[in-house]
Every structure is written in structure tokens, then in C-alpha cells.
Chain A
Amino acid sequence: MDPRYTVINKRLKRISRIIAVSSGKGGVGKSLVATTLALTLSRRGCKVGLFDLDFTSPSTHLIMGVKNLQPKEEKGIVPPVTKGLAYMSLIHFSGDQAAPLRGADISNALIELLSVTQWGELDFLVIDMPPGISDAVLDLIRLVKRIEFLIVTTPSLLAFETVKKQVRLLQDLKVPIIGVVENMKMNSAKNIAQETEKLGTKYLADIPFDAKVEEAIGDVTKLLDTTLAQRIRAVAANVIKE
């Protein structure tokens, strides 16, 4: 028997809320939304952890401009604290090397980190998910009893069609959805907001395309000064209120 499963919810016991920032599609800005949300919640006085679950393409460390962080070994693994966040990523272990992992390996690494990471007491754990609705999403639903999803889309039908499927799947499985964020909006069209409401899910914010975001990558102060961060502040307020 694999004994690791039995301690996962114990490790997460002192975390008030666990939020997976997810999308059916890649390239919609999940990592930026997840990182900015975590930083915003932290700056509002909450104790926050950020867990980069995009094992094969991690990017939250690049967004925050941090490297060579070392977790501490103490009755498990204690995540390093950076930019006010308890921060766990496979990058702490794989460094600059590519980590080509198949589904079973992703599950195993996820179970390992969930079972040995000592997060301590947190108000929020924000999880940056890989794109799609495969291993990581299914494992979190299976293993983390109190998981909630915040879903990111773009105005593109290509993104929103997969998001709709993801929303329906989560609804079928009775997994709470905080709402949908529409990122990289280029005009004032309301169709995504309307379609989201039709799905029975909250439309949390529209984030206009902001060229300054790319320039802010690697600089948290600049990032928190973008329109994206301004809109995420409203999302954070909404999340705290719930």
C-alpha cells in the first residue's frame, strides 16, 4: 500500500481555503492570475501559500523573479518564503532542467509534494494548475477534499469552449467554483460574461489586455501596478468576502 495518501488532508488541515486557478486551455494567463491573486491576498494581510503545479512548464518563479530558493527539511519539506508567500514549485528540485513527465509521474510527484510539504497555518493556498482537465485536476479533486476552482478564460471561443466543459465537469462533480475571470480582453463585448452567467457560475472580472504585464514579468512591484493587478484586487476582495 502507498502510505502517502493517508496524510495529505492532515498536511492541509491548517489551511483555511485552497484555490486552484485553472483553465481548460493553455496560454490564457493562469500563472499570472494565480501569482497576482496570491500576492494581492498576501498584501491584504492574509497568510498565503503559492503552489506551482504546472510541473512540466512552471512559470510562477519567473513571474516573481525568484530563483535558487531552497526548501527546508523539517519533519517534511517546509516551503521557502518569498515575496511574502510560502512558495512551493518543482523548480526547487529540477532547477533549469526540463522535467519531461508523463501522467503517472505527474500524479506521483503531486502526491509526494502534498504528503510531505509542511505548509503550516495559511488563510489561502493558491495553486497554479497546468492547462486542461487531466491528471492534476483529477488528482486534486480526488485528494483534496476542500478544493475550490477559479477558472481563467480569454475572450476566444477556443478557450471558452474548453472552459465551459470544465465548468460543467466541476458542477457535475459538485466541486465548488468561485467564478470565471476573463483575461486579455480586447473590446467591450459581453458575450463571455453572459455565457458564464448562463452556466450558473459567477463572472468575477474582465481583465483588459495590458502590454505592461509582459514588461512586469520578474518584478513584483511593477506587476502589482498593472491593470491586471487592479482587476485582481476586486477578485481578491470577492474571494475574502466569501
Chain B
Amino acid sequence: MHEWALAESVITAAQQIAEKEKLREIKEVTIKIGELQQVEKDILRFALSQLKPASFKNATFHISKAKTKLKCRVCENTWLFSKTKLSEDTAEAIHFVPEVAHAYIRCPKCGSPDFEIAEGRGVWLENIKGVR
């Protein structure tokens, strides 16, 4: 349940924004999860529902997945991450620490491990809506 720790960070961050924006009740929380981290949407949603404080009682969590775009720094090739070619152990290692991808993935065009995770790394809090 690594997702639990990530859910806790989402709730804490949303609470901090709510406090700053003086929102007394949160209505919507929009979260994006990058494919690279392979976060289980249902587990994340369950953890969020268990961790949410009273001010989030009526909040809806919108969780969408984002494709992971990798960009080679050597040949500028861009490609989309796919876990299908990875072993279960490698996929799990990347799930825990997405940067470990540099140990296992190479640019399909030139073979370099020097690539940028341009989009879709991990959990991202997009937006929150609430009432003052």
C-alpha cells in the first residue's frame, strides 16, 4: 500500500491549499497520476476516502491517468513509456521510485539512458475546488 503514503501527501497538500485559500469545505479534488509510477487508481481512491478529514466529507476525487512521455537528451527521440516489456520486479522498482527507470530503460532509438521524464511521472495535485 505504497499508494497510502501518496494519498496522505495529496490530502495534506490539498488541506494546505484550502487553508491558504480560506476554503472551509472542499468539493472537488483533481489528481493526475503519471503512468510511469503505475499507481493503482482504485487503491489510491480508497486511501483518499479513508484519510479525508471532515472538511473533505462531500469532496469528489477526480483521478485521471497521464501517459508518460520520455525524451532522449542525446538524440532527442521522444517515446511513450510502456510497462509491458518490463519484468514484474523492474516494474515494481519503478513503481516505488520512478527515477529508477534510468537503470532499466534505454532510448529505443540510440540506446542511451540519458533521457528526461518529460510528462507523466507520478502523482500530481491538479486543482481543488471548495466553498469559503
Do B5 and A105 touch across chains, with their CB atoms under 8 A apart? no
How far does the alpha carbon of A2 sit from the alpha carbon of B98 in the complex, in Å?
14
Q: Which residues of A contact B4 (CB under 8 A)?
A: 75-76
Q: Pick the interface stretch among B7-15, B52-60, B61-69, B77-85.
A: B7-15
Q: From A3, A76, A90, name the one whose CB has the most chain B CB atoms within 10 angstroms.
A: A3
Q: Which residues of B contact A116 (CB under 8 A)?
A: 2, 5-6, 96
Interface class of chain B by DSSP? helix
Q: Which residues of B contact A113 (CB under 8 A)?
A: 97
Do A3 and B2 touch across chains, with their CB atoms under 8 A apart? no
B46 at the interface (CB under 8 A from A): no
Chain A-chain B contacts (Cβ-Cβ < 8 Å), number:
100
Do A115 and B125 touch across chains, with their CB atoms under 8 A apart? no
Min distance, Cβ B92 to any Cβ of chain A, angstroms: 8
B86 at the interface (CB under 8 A from A): no
Number of interface residues of B (CB under 8 A): 31
Do A101 and B97 touch across chains, with their CB atoms under 8 A apart? no
Q: Which residues of B contact A90 (CB under 8 A)?
A: 97, 100
Do A1 and B97 touch across chains, with their CB atoms under 8 A apart? no
Do A3 and B99 touch across chains, with their CB atoms under 8 A apart? no
Q: Pick the interface stretch among A4-12, A19-27, A148-156.
A: A4-12
7 extra A-B contacts, CB within 8 A, seeds A4-B123, A7-B5, A115-B9: A4-B9, A4-B122, A6-B13, A75-B4, A106-B99, A109-B97, A112-B98
**Interface of B with A (CB < 8 Å)?**
1-2, 4-6, 8-10, 12-14, 16-17, 93-94, 96-100, 102-104, 113-114, 117, 121-125
